[in-house]
C-alpha cells in the first residue's frame, strides 16, 4: 500500500519480542512499554517488515549479562519479582549492596537501587526479569547480525537503556544493553562510536568506557537546573568539561553537549551535524551505535526540547550516510504516540523508504485497548511541536561547537 521496498545494496534487521509489551512499571511511572506496541503496529501497518529481516528476540543469558554487570546484581535481577524481593533483600550477598538508609528518602531503596515502593525510578514489577533479559537479548542479537556481516543496520527499539551501572539500576534502566553490545563489538571492530540523542545524559555508557580509548561516547542532552528549586535535570551529569577520565588513556574519548531547554530543529541540526561530523572525522569509527531516545521530541512528558520527528530522523540519516555498521536502539520517550511515530519513521529511513507525512490514525490500535485509558484521540497525528519556553541561545550553541572542535 505504501510501496515499501528493500533497500538497494545493504541489509537491515529488526529485533523484537512482543512479550516486552505486557510490562507495567507502575500506575504513575512514565515508562510505558506499550509504546513499543504502538511502534510495532505502525511499523507493520506500513509494511516495513518487507524491507528488512525480522527476528523474534530470545532472552540474553546470565553469562552474557555478566560481561559488564556484577555477578550478584545479575543473579538478583534474574530472580527478583514483587513476591521474592523481601526475601532476596535479606540474603547476605545481596544485603551488602543496599544503599545507606535515610529517613528523608521519599522511597525505600533496596539493594542495587531497586525498590517495591510506588514512585521509585527503578521499581520491581511482575515479569521484570523476563523484560530485562529480553530487551538485552534483542540488542545482542542485533549486535551479532552486524559483527557477522549479516546486516548493515540492526534495530532494537526496546533497547537503549543507557543509565544502568555495573551493580546499580538507575533512571528506569536495569541492564545496560548498550555497554554489553559495545563490549561485544570490540572483539571485531577497532573503534566504536556511541552517539546518544536521548534528552538525558548517557551516563552509564560513558562511565563504563571512561578508560577505553577504543570507544568514543558522545551525548546530547538537557543540562542544568530544571525548576525553581534549582534541582538538576536528571541525571545531573554531562557538563561540557566532562571529556572522559582525566589522567587515563580514556581522557578525550567522551564528549558531552549540554543543552538548555527549548532547543529547536535548526539549532539542534547545527549542533548535531557539526559536532557529530567532526567527531567521526577525527575518531574514524569502525561502527556506530545510535541511541535514539525519543524524549528529545517536543511535547515529551519528561523532555524539554522542541525537536520535531523530522529532525530527530535526520540525526539517524546523518550517521547512516557514513556507511558504517550501524546499531539503532530506542531509549527514553514518554509521549507514547510520538515515540511510535518517530521510531516508525526512523525504521523507514533505515530501509530507504519514505512514509506519507501524516500516518493515518487507523494504523495505530487505540491505546485504550491496552491500558484502559483514553489517549491519542483524533484522526491524524499532527506534525507535533510543543513550544517550550526557549532558553536556548544561538550564541551558547556556537560556543559549544567551538569548544568541542578542539
Catalytic residues: 201
Site membership for ligand V1S, residue 171 (CB under 6 A):
yes
Nearest approach in angstroms of CB 49 to ligand V1S is 26
Q: Is 26 in the site for ligand V1S (CB under 6 A)?
A: yes
Rounded to the nearest whole angstrom, what is the least distance from the CB of residue 269 to ligand V1S in the complex? 22
Query: Could you say which of 98, 167, 302, 322 contacts ligand V1S (CB under 6 A)?
Result: 302
Residue 219 binds which one of Ca ion, Zn ion, ligand V1S, none, with CB within 5 to 8 A depending on kind? Ca ion
Contacts of ligand V1S in 181-210 (CB under 6 A)? 198, 200
Q: For Zn ion, give the closer residue by CB, 252 or 301.
A: 301
* Per-residue binder mask for Ca ion (CB under 5 A), 215-254, x = binder: ----x-x---------------------------------
168 binds, among Zn ion, Ca ion, ligand V1S, none (CB under 5 to 8 A by kind): none
Q: How many residues bind Ca ion (CB under 5 A)?
A: 4
Alpha-carbon gap, residue 262 to 22, rounded angstroms = 33
- Written as nine digits, the cell of 306 is 522542541
Residues at the site binding Zn ion, with contacts judged by CB under 5 A: 198, 200, 293, 295, 332
Among 173, 197, 307, 328, binds ligand V1S (CB under 6 A): 173
Q: Report the residue from 6, 11, 24, 29 that binds ligand V1S according to the rule CB under 6 A.
A: 29
Nearer to Zn ion, 200 or 214 (CB): 200
Sheet of 254-259: strand order equals: 53-56, 12-16, 153-156, 326-329, 287-291, 192-196, 215-222, 254-259
Q: Does residue number 223 form part of the binding site for ligand V1S (CB under 6 A)? A: no
Q: Using the rule CB under 6 A, is 406 a contact of ligand V1S?
A: no
Q: Which is nearer to Ca ion, 219 or 347 (CB)?
A: 219
Contact between 224 and ligand V1S by CB under 6 A: the answer reads no
| Of 40-48, 87-95, 167-175, 269-277: span binding ligand V1S (CB under 6 A) | 167-175
**Closer of 184 and 198 to Ca ion (Cβ):** 198
Please list every residue from 176 through 215 that binds Ca ion, using CB under 5 A: 196, 198
Q: Is 222 left (phi over 0), alpha (psi -120 to 50) or beta?
A: beta
User: Rounded to the nearest whole angstrom, what is the least distance from the CB of residue 339 to Ca ion in the complex?
Assistant: 15
> Closest distance between Zn ion and the C-beta of residue 121, in Å?
12
Query: Which residue's Cβ lies closest to ligand V1S?
Result: 332
Q: Least distance to ligand V1S from the beta carbon of 1, Å?
A: 33
User: Could you say which residues in the range 123-162 bind ligand V1S, by CB under 6 A?
Assistant: 161-162
Nearer to ligand V1S, 352 or 391 (CB): 391
Tell me which residue of 155, 90, 162 sits closest to 346, measured CA to CA: 155
SS (H, E, C) the chain: CCCCCCCCCCCEEEEECHHHHHCCCCCCCCCCCCHHHHHHHHHHHCCHHHHCEEEECCCCCHHHHCCCCCHHHHHHHHHCCCCCHHHHHHCHHHHCCCCCCCCCCCCCCCHHHCECCCCCCCECCCCHHHHHHHHHHHHHHHHHHHHCCCCCEEEECCCCCCCCECCECECCECCCHHHHHHHHHCCCCCCEEEEECCCCCCHHHHHHCCCCCCEEEEEEEECCECCCCCCECCCCCCCCCCCCCCCCCCCCCEEEEEECCCCCHHHHHHHHHHHHHHHHHHHCCCEEEEECCHHHECCCCCCCCCECHHHHHHHHHHHHCCCCCEEEECCCCCCHHHHHHHHHHHHHHHCCCCCCCCCEHHHCCCCHHHHCCCCCCCCECCCCCCCCCCCCCHHHHHHHHHHHHC
Choose the one of ligand V1S, Zn ion, Ca ion, none that binds residue 15, judging by a C-beta under 5 to 8 angstroms depending on kind: none
Cell numbers of 320, please? 547512516
Distance CA 257, CA 239 (A): 7
Q: Answer yes or no whether residue 234 interacts with ligand V1S by CB under 6 A.
A: yes
Q: What residues line the site for Ca ion (CB under 5 A)?
A: 196, 198, 219, 221
Q: What residues line the site for ligand V1S (CB under 6 A)?
A: 26, 28-30, 119-121, 161-163, 171-173, 198, 200, 234, 293, 295, 302, 331-332
Amino acid at each position: 500500500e505504501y510501496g515499501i521496498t528493500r533497500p538497494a545494496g545493504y541489509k537491515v534487521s529488526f529485533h523484537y519480542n512482543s512479550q516486552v509489551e505486557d510490562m507495567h512499571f507502575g500506575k504513575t511511572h512514565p515508562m510505558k512499554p506499550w509504546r513499543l506496541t504502538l511502534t510495532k503496529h505502525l511499523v507493520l501497518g506500513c509494511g516495513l517488515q518487507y524491507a528488512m529481516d525480522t527476528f523474534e528476540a530470545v532472552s540474553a543469558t546470565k553469562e552474557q549479562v555478566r560481561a559488564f554487570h556484577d555477578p550478584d546484581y545479575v543473579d538478583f535481577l534474574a530472580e527478583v519479582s514483587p513476591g521474592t524481593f523481601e526475601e532476596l533483600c535479606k540474603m547476605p550477598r545481596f544485603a551488602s549492596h543496599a544503599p545507606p538508609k535515610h529517613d528523608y528518602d521519599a522511597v525505600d531503596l533496596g539493594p542495587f537501587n531497586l525498590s517495591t515502593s510506588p514512585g521509585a525510578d527503578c521499581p520491581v514489577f511482575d515479569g521484570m526479569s523476563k523484560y530485562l533479559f529480553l530487551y538485552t537479548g534483542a540488542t545482542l542479537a542485533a549486535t551479532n547480525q552486524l559483527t557477522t556481516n549479516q546486516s548493515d543496520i540492526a534495530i532494537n527499539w526496546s533497547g537503549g537503556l543507557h543509565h544502568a551501572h555495573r551493580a546499580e539500576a538507575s533512571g528506569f534502566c536495569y541492564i545496560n544493553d548498550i555497554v554489553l553490545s559495545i563490549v561485544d563489538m570490540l572483539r571485531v571492530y577497532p573503534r566504536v562510536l556511541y552517539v546518544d540523542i536521548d534528552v538525558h545524559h548517557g551516563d552509564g555508557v560513558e562511565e563504563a568506557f571512561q578508560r577505553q580509548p577504543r570507544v568514543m561516547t558522545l551525548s546530547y542532552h538537557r543540562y542544568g537546573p530544571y525548576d525553581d528549586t534549582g534541582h538538576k535535570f536528571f541525571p545531573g551529569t554531562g557538563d561540557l568539561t566532562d571529556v572522559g577520565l582525566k589522567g587515563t588513556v580514556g581522557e578525550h574519548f567522551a564528549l558531552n553537549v549540554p543543552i538548555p531547554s527549548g532547543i529547536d530543529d535548526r539549532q539542534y541540526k547545527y549542533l548535531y551535524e557539526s559536532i557529530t561530523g567532526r567527531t567521526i572525522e577525527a575518531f574514524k569509527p569502525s561502527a556506530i551505535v545510535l541511541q535514539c531516545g525519543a524524549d528529545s521530541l517536543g511535547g515529551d512528558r519528561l523532555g524539554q526540547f522542541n525537536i520535531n520527528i523530522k529532525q530527530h530522523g535526520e540525526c539517524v540519516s546523518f550517521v547512516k550516510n557514513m556507511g558504517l555498521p550501524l546499531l539503532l536502539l530506542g531509549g527514553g520517550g514518554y509521549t507514547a504516540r510520538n515515540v511510535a511515530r518517530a521510531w516508525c519513521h526512523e525504521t523507514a529511513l533505515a530501509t530507504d523508504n519514505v512514509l506519507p507525512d501524516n500516518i493515518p490514525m487507523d494504523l495505530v490500535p487505540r491505546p485504550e485497548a491496552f491500558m484502559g485509558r483514553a489517549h491519542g484521540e483524533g484522526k491524524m497525528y499532527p506534525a507535533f511541536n510543543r513550544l517550550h519556553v526557549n532558553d536556548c541561545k544561538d550564541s551558547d550553541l556556537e560556543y559549544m561547537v567551538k569548544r568541542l572542535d578542539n
